[in-house]
Structure 1
Amino acid sequence: MRILADENTEAQIVDWLRKAGHDVLWAAEFSPGASDEALLEKAAAESRIILTADLDFGELVFRRHLKGTGIVLLRLRAETTAELLRSFEAFWPAIEKQAHGKFLVVTNRKVRIRELD
């Protein structure tokens, strides 16, 4: 899967995805401080799913009607990074299967899915 991870994505999640064979661009490495609009545009141009903890992406695609390939909003809560990674790993099969063309909100309990316009 081609992914653009926002700079607020934990490094351990980025590393895990890369080790699993996914093509991951991490904003913290290639464009720290880039605007959400710029990241959304880059992801769309390269057919990448955005992985983020930033609520603003929902605003961009649903209120401002900017185009996205797919967005995964991580709302996972954990006391340690190891717990966070375990939660992410548990939901990854559902995320991977459904992310294209959708806005997914991933919490500790479930994945909510909404079609992108």
Structure 2
Amino acid sequence: MKFITDENIPKSIETFLKNLGYNVESIRNICKGATDDEVMKLTAEHLAILVTSDKDFGELVFRFGEKIPGIILLRVNDILKSQELLKKVLKEQKELTNKFIVITEKGYKIRKMY
């Protein structure tokens, strides 16, 4: 499974995912300053799951029908709590494709994208 982290995701989350054995790229390294549309396109081209804290991606998918392999919307301010919940999601959800996963302090919710 491959992930692309948005510029708003701390580098420590990128490192955390890499330490779990995942293939992770950062928009900071691929195309710094990319627009949301460019991020969507790059994520689709890389067949990756986008990890972001930007709620706009939900609107792009659900309102405008943009296609992307999957999205994890990280809405937790504490880094250690984010890592704990992200690890839980990855353990419990073997397939992330076609899913919009919102992680909050209370846990996570999943919605199919299309």
Q: Could you list the runs of 5+ residues in structure 1 that have no partner in the other structure?
A: 79-83
1:71 alignment counterpart: 71
Aligned residue for 1:25, secondary structure, equals: strand
| Alpha carbons 2:81, 2:105 under 8 Å: kept | no
Instruction: Kindly report the root-mean-square deviation, in angstroms, between the aligned alpha carbons of the 2 structures.
Output: 1.5
2:105 alignment counterpart: 108
1:25 alignment counterpart: 25
| Alpha carbons 1:51, 1:73 under 8 Å: kept | yes
Judged with a 3 Å threshold, the aligned counterparts in structure 2 of structure 1 residues 95 and 111 are, in CA distance, closer, same or farther, namely farther
Please tell me whether residue 87 in structure 1 is matched to residue 96 in structure 2.
Answer: no
TM-score, normalised with respect to structure 1: 0.87
**Structure 1 stretches of at least 4 aligned residues deviating more than 4 Å after TM superposition:** none
Q: Could you list the runs of 5+ residues in structure 2 that have no partner in the other structure?
A: none
| Alpha carbons 1:95, 1:104 under 8 Å: kept | no
Task: Give me the whole-angstrom Cα distance separating, in 2, the residues matched to 1:110 and 1:25.
Answer: 25
Aligned residue for 1:61, secondary structure, equals: helix
Quote how far apart the aligned CAs of 1:95 are.
Answer: 3.8
Task: Give me the whole-angstrom Cα distance separating, in 1, the residues matched to 2:15 and 2:86.
Answer: 16
Task: Give me the whole-angstrom Cα distance separating, in 1, the residues matched to 2:109 and 2:68.
Answer: 17
Quote how far apart the aligned CAs of 1:16 are.
Answer: 1.0
Identity percentage of aligned residues: 34
Task: Give me the whole-angstrom Cα distance separating, in 2, the residues matched to 1:95 and 1:57.
Answer: 20
How many residue pairs align between the two structures?
Answer: 112
